[in-house]
Chain A
Amino acid sequence: MEPYKNHTSTAALMNRSNVDTDQIIPKQFLKRVERSGFGAHLFHDWRFNDDGSDNPDFELNKAEFQSATILVTGDNFGCGSSREHAPWAIADYGFNTIISSSYADIFYNNCFKNGILPIRATQEQLRLIAEEIDAHEGCSLTINLEMQTVETPLGNNFAFELDPFRKENLLHGLDDIGLTMKQTDKIDEYEQKHRRLYPWLWT
């Protein structure tokens, strides 16, 4: 995984609540056996008309959002299924940061495995940022992961909270499995105890 870098970028605003994983990546695209290529289908049913042309009314199709790496969106983002195809599609499309007031648990976990920083803002912080993006075409935000801050041109700045373990992994692009495998002795030890206590699970 690539380490997460501090950066300044245009932020795309999709002011909707309860955006579910079926919207992020509809089920007809879940049959691929690879991790790549999902960005082309991100928000497919909203993004494209029936004839395959771009839907001009869909937020992310606005010209000023085309190079955005930051997605600003409403409450409970990523609810629904556990499909990691959702963060794969988001990352493949070009977003590495999401700002919302809340996320569904599984989606939130999945983001960190794919180099995406899901920032939790308060409802008020989110409202101010959304208003600023809405009023200023091409509005850029600056994300600093080390300092855990978001800065905006109008100064609607805020600091966000983040689990230190997850932050460390994002900053260094660390592989979770490799980290856990350093604990193999502990897992072996636990398993011996497990076999003794719950023998019926091992027969």
Chain B
Amino acid sequence: MKKTMYEKIWDSHLVCEAAGQAPLLYVDRHLMHEVTSPQAFEGLRNANRKIRNPHSILATMDHCVPTKNRELPIADPIAKKQIETMADNCRENGLNLYDIKNPNNGVIHIVVPEHGFVHPGMITVCGDSHTATHGAFGALAFGIGTSEVEHVMATQTLPQTKSKTMLVKVNGKLPKYSSAKDIVLAVIGKIGTAGGTGHVIEFAGEAVMDLTMEGRMTLCNMAIEGGARAGLVMPDEKTYEYLKGREFTPSGSEWDTALVYWKTLPSDEDAEFDTVVTLTADDIAPQVTWGTSPEQVAPVSGTVPSPENFNDEGKRQACISALNYMDLKPKTKITDIPVNLVFLGSCTNGRIEDFRIAAEITKSHKVADGVTAIAVPGSYKVKEQAEQEGLDQILIDAGWEWRDPGCSMCLAMNGDELTPGQRSASTSNRNFEGRQGKGGRTHLVSPAMAAAAATAGHFVDIRNL
């Protein structure tokens, strides 16, 4: 039988299928951060259970951590306790933790690939919906709840129901200044935020395979915003090249064995998917969200829609409520929307190439009056690399703030946040009401679009620069 990559990974991880119970899948890698794990450790302790495979876990601190004045004690006592609890839990259980002072520290989904911790064909989980990021390596990676975090710690398995499969094929060549972020926003605009519910998406086609590994991570990262549990890209030479020589990547004869296995993973030709969606990359312009859901998105050359543009009553109501929250009028040109704050960072767009393109766009310009621009590298390694390339100086010279790594304004748990009414151009992944601060208004964009907005004080069509 012809199999998709998802089906191959599923089959190779099936531990058992007991009568009357959900199939049990084996978990290879378990990623952790401070927010979704403490209650799982507590549950384990209360039940007197042990972690089955401590070596399968890599932990970091990212959601609550300050991105400036890191040398000072954490001011928020509840955040401080959460950070300390994480450190205690990892120490007690002998887990590999990149704590706040560790040079390997950063956002979990940035740090894990940097160390080659996830490989093609693995099942990887984390108490974080953006675990989908690691699908870029051809690994089945998905977010789980805290009870499931506890389940994986205790048993190294998860009861799962099989997902449907969706192929998103992006044909053709992406135009200059459109990026992986624009592809994924265009996909979500097309299928909707519930379009992928119950599915695992495999991204394929020329424009996807043309992306760098960083680009593929951005793409898979936001599969969850299309409702899918996971995104996948088949491994290829770029994947192997990226992985080679990293800390947790096999070497010597084990590398050769692994490579033989990895090459068996891509979906068989003519494998059947439950749903197929096709896009033409050549048509994908830089995207800007105008509403409070990632599906409420328009090309930068477009306008804010009117409720009448939607036939579906639910979507019409959602448009009315989003325009109200965002304080936008129908038919406003996207390029006429002003911004007060620009956030460059997150597990979606906090990698080195994101800072390279932002610096390229920013070079010899200044941040516009009245705009605050914040650059938050995804990890200390990204920060160091950017500094070696002089990207930090370009941004600082233009008036950007250059911060320490963390999730920062992506979800605004650490004190970096919008004030009510402030409007951001943000390279993160969610524009939900209040996500970046109560009353804050978020427009999701690519790093290039964010950098251009910082300079202009409003959105600009970067293709015309």
Closest 9 CB pairs of A and B: A200-B250, A113-B147, A82-B143, A84-B145, A33-B38, A110-B145, A200-B254, A76-B194, A84-B146
Is A180's CB under 8 angstroms from B432's CB? no
Is A102's CB under 8 angstroms from B194's CB? yes
Other CB < 8 Å A-B pairs besides A22-B433, A84-B147, 8 of them?
Answer: A45-B433, A81-B411, A105-B229, A109-B145, A110-B148, A163-B161, A183-B24, A183-B157
A2 within 8 A of B: no
Question: How many contacting A-B pairs (Cβ < 8 A)?
Answer: 184
List A residues 12-54 near B (Cβ within 8 Å). 17-18, 20, 22-23, 26-28, 30-35, 45
List the interface of chain B (C-beta within 8 A of A). Answer: 15-16, 18, 20-22, 24, 26, 28, 35-36, 38-39, 42, 47, 49, 52, 55, 63-64, 76, 78-79, 81-82, 85, 119, 122, 127-129, 131, 142-148, 150-151, 154-157, 159, 161, 193-194, 197-198, 227, 229, 250, 254-255, 257-258, 261, 293, 314, 317-318, 411-413, 430, 432-435, 438
**CA gap between A134 and B314 in the complex, in Å:** 17
Residues of chain B within 8 A of A22, CB atoms compared: 411, 430, 432-435
**CA gap between A155 and B430 in the complex, in Å:** 40
Is B197's CB under 8 angstroms from A104's CB? yes
Among A17, A45, A106, A177, contact of B145 (Cβ-Cβ < 8 Å): A106
Is B144's CB under 8 angstroms from A33's CB? no
Look across to chain B and name the residue whose beta carbon is closest to the beta carbon of A1.
B147
Residues of chain A within 8 A of B293, CB atoms compared: 18, 20
Among A18, A30, A32, A176, contact of B193 (Cβ-Cβ < 8 Å): A18
Is A23's CB under 8 angstroms from B434's CB? yes
**CA gap between A76 and B150 in the complex, in Å:** 26
Task: In the complex, identify which listed stretch (A55-63, A137-145, A187-195) lies at the interface while the others stay far away.
Answer: A187-195
Is B129's CB under 8 angstroms from A80's CB? yes
Which of A23, A165, A197 has the most C-beta atoms of chain B within 10 angstroms of its own C-beta? Answer: A165
A114 within 8 A of B: yes
CB distance from B168 to the nearest CB of A (A): 17
Is B144's CB under 8 angstroms from A105's CB? no
Among B63, B157, B227, contact of A105 (Cβ-Cβ < 8 Å): B227
Look across to chain A and name the residue whose beta carbon is closest to the beta carbon of B410.
A27
CB distance from B74 to the nearest CB of A (A): 11
**CA gap between A194 and B255 in the complex, in Å:** 16
